[in-house]
Amino acid sequence: MTKFVDLHLCAPLRDIEQIKKMVTKSFELGYRLVGIPLPSNVELDEIERLRKICSEAGLDFVSRVDITPKNTQELLANLRRLRRKFEVVSVLCMSKPIARQAAKDRRVDVLSFPVAKPRNRFFDSAEAELASESSASLEIDMAPLLSLEGFLRIRLISSLRREVAIAKSFHVPVVISSGAANDYLLRGPHDYSALAMLFDMDSSLAFNALSEVPLCIVERNRLKLSSDFVAPGLRVVRRRDP
């Protein structure tokens, strides 16, 4: 059975009831693994509390951090500081140098671009080439597609169509996430697959973007963060009894 993943559930961290509501709704809609973005200075207790809420609802929790650096130096400093603390690292690319640096850095899992400014969506062929070499994925949040109307939505769909075509031709993995801040913006995997048709993503690619691609990112990072990991392709399988 396909395991659906929502890597970007933007639940308000201060409101426990809302988190519980959104997490329960995600489970009802068919997701089995959710990523909730956390502040970079989050305490371990907070992560454990969220993990417990998710496991009570039947979901696997993924800790995620969204970095919005002002320049490349800040990006590198943040990656150095946060990479080993979170399971998924996403970079919101606000400028071209940041986008290029994030695309070539192997510590970045997910690249996302601002929705409000289509000119700041720097996912072009050069970016895609760098991303495909470093195995970074392009993230598409679906909440703006639902909440925007008229000209803004038309522009967003057009940008997404162009980006998906570029990603396909450079074999850059695409991740579809909800990006929902409330439960009315949450939709099931089949609904997202139907919506992905708007930007020329066929259903098999859309289901891949909702299951295999994000699952692969999480599993890869969990392996790297485990104490048994030594280097890529090398891990401890057994320890000598003390």
Partner 1 sequence: MTRRVKQRYLALKIESAESFEEEDIKDAVWSAVIQLFGEYGASQAGLFFVQYDKQRKEAVLRCSHKALPMVQASIASVTKMKDKPAAIHVLRVSGSLRALRKKVSKQFL
Please identify which residue in 79, 136, 146, 174 interacts with partner 1, judged by CB under 8 A: 146
Which 186-205 positions form the footprint of partner 1 (CB under 8 A)?
186-188, 190-192, 194-195, 197-198, 203
Considering beta carbons, is residue 184 or 229 the nearer one to partner 1? 184
Question: How far apart (Å, rounded) are the C-alpha atoms in residues 71 and 226?
Answer: 31
Give the shortest CB-197-to-partner 1 separation in angstroms: 5
* Using rule CB under 8 A, residue 86 touches partner 1: no
Q: Does 144 bind partner 1 (CB under 8 A)?
A: no
**DSSP of 185-204:** G---HHHHHHHHGGGT--HH
To which H or E segment does residue 43 belong? Answer: none
Q: Does 145 bind partner 1 (CB under 8 A)?
A: yes
Min dist. Cβ of residue 75 to partner 1 (A): 34
Dihedral angle over CA of 197, 148, 26, 211, nearest 10? 30
**Phi, psi dihedrals of residue 37, rounded to the nearest 5°:** -70, 135
182 scored as a contact of partner 1 (CB under 8 A): yes
| Terminal Cα distance for the chain, rounded | 41
Q: Which listed range, 49-57, 92-100, 160-168, 185-193, lies at the site for partner 1 (CB under 8 A)?
A: 185-193
Runs of H (alpha helix) within the chain:
16-29, 44-56, 72-82, 96-104, 125-134, 143-147, 150-169, 189-196, 203-210, 212-225
Helix (H, G, I), strand (E, B) or coil at 176: strand
* Cβ-based nearer residue to partner 1, 17 or 149: 149
CA gap 64, 55 in Å, rounded: 17
Smallest gap from residue 182 Cβ to partner 1 (A): 8
Phi, psi of 38 (to 5 degrees): -120, 155
Tell me: does residue 58 bind partner 1 (CB under 8 A).
no
Between residue 14 and residue 53, which ones bind partner 1 under the rule CB under 8 A?
29
For the CB of residue 181, give the shortest distance to partner 1 in the complex, in Å: 12
Residues that bind partner 1 (CB under 8 A): 29, 145-147, 149, 182-188, 190-192, 194-195, 197-198, 203
